[in-house]
Structure 1
């Protein structure tokens, strides 16, 4: 009787308020933190922690408050973040099979559809990754070796720098084009001239998509895809860019189909087309044109973005630390001289240059939050229970700057990678390529590119800032962490 009387006397605003309270209580009850789940900040009803920053520096602060395993909520989705070398090693190495899957990331699922190498899972992922890995190894042998590709491209890159005749210029897309030509030679069978405006547009679209995909506004799409897909915003630009990129890649596939000779495979696309014929009876392996398209995107992005961004960070740090640049050049002159190009056989004899490159990778921190993963099974980490299917983010920045692993984590110091006798030393906490079963497929290629491109550039040029335009050491956070646009002088030695 009391409730009936109460309902009868409620007006429209009262009913609205009552309905809102019921919805809030329902959301709080439905999305309450599970028992033994990692801790985290209080979440706003309906929205979760969408007002919490998505950058790695915010994650570092949260780890300091809540510990190396903590959680956030975006919409109704709970996410677990793993921080620090000790816990990251436990997750990726000691529990090798616990966090091997990829979640559905709505922003990328629109075009990837769970295909390809990076965002696929299960049987399809194993088959596609193994095939790509085998092909990359094939190109690492004989006359078609990756090292030879890089040596040739290093000449083109240095010539492009030389054409600037010491004038101020922005090296962004010269470097990106040069690095991308290596993986392009592998997958397409040819490189692209630096003057090729069609490929330059491809690189610009990809760079814009990568920068935008890491912004807080774009990542709202992952929390509320059903609503935001109808609204304007940077996510629409990301999707539009990838649509154009896929058109570019599809044209390359069509050209290969027209010229294809199964007896004379020239590149990754050709051998993939042959594999499609062999795997017709195994559709679950995913060897078809749609998967090939996503694989090409995965390989081009993985083989371009992080290495080219690291090289740009390298130029920034050499301008900030000219005394280190001089020591690298002195080692190059002593070991290689000026009469020949650097090659991989030189690296063991160049510990200081190797240490500088590793420190550039560490401080450059190009993929600070890694690539999203998902708990493959119910597991326990750091004393907390993480259910199967939980979204996982590995904070690689926390490993590269772990104060328990590095003497001066926030200072650029090649000595982090040198022993007391000046010889190069490997560091367990050096994980820019991640670790475990999802370790970067192109790690070997990236290591070769960084050594050969970097040493070739410093063999032939001295880099200095444009007066009054010293590049910032604070980067731009997109999906990757990259230097702000800058100009510089490249003075021939």
Structure 2
């Protein structure tokens, strides 16, 4: 019996054959590329990647074709970097060359290569430098942002406390907590956990992340002009984007009406001030649409992946209660229960730190990374790669590299511990990518993952609904991101810590 996806692919093939009139023509390549599996006309290598776990399928192909090889995603060739060594040699040792952003149709339609995530060239460099400076000005990377996360953690813990140990799906509460941190930087304020408008927006972000991580999202990026005519959930992405754009535009308009030019309250004020400075410059990159897209990029990037990591982390800790218990014992011994853990405690919590790193390694929340494009010709592992080559930096392959991690397909915190039980970093750990396109919010995300998860474990026992042995850690869908399965857990307060004493 044909699966829905197979039927969709066959339909795409028939339409494409009718459209182009020839099933043997391949897309023009920018030059010779590394070898890889033989593609079919128009479909490329899609049938070899039909499993729905594109990261695993690519790693299997790498076993035959090596760490640098070419696959055809429909009519488009993509060079895959598969292994820690290949990723390091490209993204770090040739950082400038691999600093271009490869096009993804689902984002192209919305952003039109605007904003910070999907722009290139001088626009990207200008926006990146400006955004880094603005984020630092508003506390990212400083003690100020730690205080904001700790304040939000108290609100989150109070929400969990109110459940009185009843089963709950933690997604919305975690989304709200994480989003409030970046909102305080971008919008200048936080939102209540029951705010219906904000909960709607977080649901839109989650829905888009899930659809873009599904097979529908993958196929849209390969055959966008065809999928525009085929019914499916992928159409919701663009309706969601439109609703998000309206919300961000309204926030910008409110800032225009209430801001005082001499005092920047947040990122939007800072950007508006730069727009005023360059309003006479026809080549300026500081335009209203750029502000909308950059704000969306920061909002999405600062919420969905971190919240997904926290949610997946809770699921893993529920499945492995002995790991959670060992973290709690270390927290009790080092931090105690009189105050919340702080970032300065991290160096004295080697096992806890190792567990948090192992969660991120194990789940690889963005398994394929975001695509790159070469800014100039390059040589890599004996292969010539022409300028503009589309590159997939398979981050999950570094996390599953057996030369870097022992038993990499299993959850094992000792991957980040030395023989003495001290924390041991590993250069193959790259959840935020590498090089010039490394996530701008990597430092903030690390802080949030540590502060939120340790605060939860300090206050609560994590109890499963059912048997831990029956918990399946397989992603609900995978593609752009690894989305954890929907689950419930119970949070039961541990003794010796009251809500009043948890604040600083």
| SS in structure 2 at match of 1:232 | coil
Residues 107 and 235, structure 1, Cα contact 8 Å, conserved in 2 = no
- How is 1:1-150 mapped onto 2 (pairs within 5 angstroms)? 23-25=22-24, 27=25, 35=32, 37-51=33-47, 52-53=49-50, 55-140=54-139, 145-150=144-149
Moved more, 226-235 or 138-147: 138-147
Task: Measure the CA separation in 2 of the matches of 1:304 and 1:43.
Answer: 37
Task: Measure the CA separation in 2 of the matches of 1:78 and 1:322.
Answer: 44
Residues 149 and 181, structure 2, Cα contact 8 Å, conserved in 1 = yes
Aligned match of 1:439: 438
Task: Measure the CA separation in 1 of the matches of 2:363 and 2:23.
Answer: 43
- Specify whether residues 420 and 259 from structure 1 end up closer, same or farther in structure 2 by C-alpha distance, changes over 3 A only: same
- How is 1:62-461 mapped onto 2 (pairs within 5 angstroms)? 62-140=61-139, 145-461=144-460
Task: Measure the CA separation in 1 of the matches of 2:97 and 2:107.
Answer: 23
1:486 to 2:487 alignment? yes
Task: Measure the CA separation in 1 of the matches of 2:410 and 2:284.
Answer: 46
- Specify whether residues 114 and 336 from structure 1 end up closer, same or farther in structure 2 by C-alpha distance, changes over 3 A only: same
Alpha-carbon distance, 1:143 to partner:
9.5
Alpha-carbon distance, 1:367 to partner:
0.6
Moved more, 221-230 or 358-367: 221-230
Task: Measure the CA separation in 2 of the matches of 1:485 and 1:22.
Answer: 44
Alpha-carbon distance, 1:171 to partner:
0.3
| SS in structure 2 at match of 1:145 | helix
| SS in structure 1 at match of 2:72 | strand
Task: Measure the CA separation in 1 of the matches of 2:448 and 2:283.
Answer: 34
Task: Measure the CA separation in 1 of the matches of 2:335 and 2:471.
Answer: 30
Task: Measure the CA separation in 1 of the matches of 2:493 and 2:473.
Answer: 25
Moved more, 48-57 or 340-349: 48-57
Task: Measure the CA separation in 2 of the matches of 1:73 and 1:314.
Answer: 34
Task: Measure the CA separation in 2 of the matches of 1:344 and 1:192.
Answer: 25
Unaligned runs of 5+ in 1: 1-18
Residues 63-89 of structure 1: per-residue CA shift (max 9 Å, x gap): 112111111223331111110001110
- Specify whether residues 344 and 24 from structure 1 end up closer, same or farther in structure 2 by C-alpha distance, changes over 3 A only: closer
Alpha-carbon distance, 1:108 to partner:
0.9
Task: Measure the CA separation in 2 of the matches of 1:128 and 1:281.
Answer: 18
Moved more, 470-479 or 121-130: 470-479
Unaligned runs of 5+ in 2: 1-17, 495-504
Residues 30 and 388, structure 2, Cα contact 8 Å, conserved in 1 = no
Alpha-carbon distance, 1:481 to partner:
0.5
| SS in structure 1 at match of 2:391 | strand
Residues 377 and 384, structure 2, Cα contact 8 Å, conserved in 1 = yes
Residues 124 and 284, structure 1, Cα contact 8 Å, conserved in 2 = no
- Specify whether residues 269 and 144 from structure 1 end up closer, same or farther in structure 2 by C-alpha distance, changes over 3 A only: farther
Alpha-carbon distance, 1:309 to partner:
1.0
Normalising by structure 1, report the TM-score: 0.92
Residues 127 and 285, structure 1, Cα contact 8 Å, conserved in 2 = no
Task: Measure the CA separation in 2 of the matches of 1:245 and 1:286.
Answer: 22
- Specify whether residues 143 and 235 from structure 1 end up closer, same or farther in structure 2 by C-alpha distance, changes over 3 A only: closer
| SS in structure 2 at match of 1:486 | coil
Residues 38 and 384, structure 1, Cα contact 8 Å, conserved in 2 = yes
Residues 210-263 of structure 1: per-residue CA shift (max 9 Å, x gap): 111122333323333333323322331111111111111111111111111112
Aligned match of 1:6: none
- Specify whether residues 406 and 252 from structure 1 end up closer, same or farther in structure 2 by C-alpha distance, changes over 3 A only: same
Residues 212 and 478, structure 1, Cα contact 8 Å, conserved in 2 = no
Task: Measure the CA separation in 2 of the matches of 1:252 and 1:130.
Answer: 23
Residues 50 and 220, structure 1, Cα contact 8 Å, conserved in 2 = no
- Specify whether residues 482 and 225 from structure 1 end up closer, same or farther in structure 2 by C-alpha distance, changes over 3 A only: closer
Normalising by structure 2, report the TM-score: 0.90
| SS in structure 2 at match of 1:79 | strand
Residues 312-370 of structure 1: per-residue CA shift (max 9 Å, x gap): 12111111111111111111111211111111111111111111111111112101000
- Specify whether residues 143 and 299 from structure 1 end up closer, same or farther in structure 2 by C-alpha distance, changes over 3 A only: closer
Residues 103 and 371, structure 2, Cα contact 8 Å, conserved in 1 = no
Residues 439-484 of structure 1: per-residue CA shift (max 9 Å, x gap): 1100110111011111100100010101257532111214211210
- Specify whether residues 232 and 254 from structure 1 end up closer, same or farther in structure 2 by C-alpha distance, changes over 3 A only: same
- Specify whether residues 110 and 32 from structure 1 end up closer, same or farther in structure 2 by C-alpha distance, changes over 3 A only: closer
Aligned match of 1:473: 473
Task: Measure the CA separation in 2 of the matches of 1:467 and 1:82.
Answer: 40
Task: Measure the CA separation in 1 of the matches of 2:74 and 2:422.
Answer: 50
Alpha-carbon distance, 1:138 to partner:
1.6
Aligned match of 2:498: none
Task: Measure the CA separation in 1 of the matches of 2:348 and 2:120.
Answer: 41
Residues 187 and 269, structure 1, Cα contact 8 Å, conserved in 2 = yes
Larger radius of gyration: 1
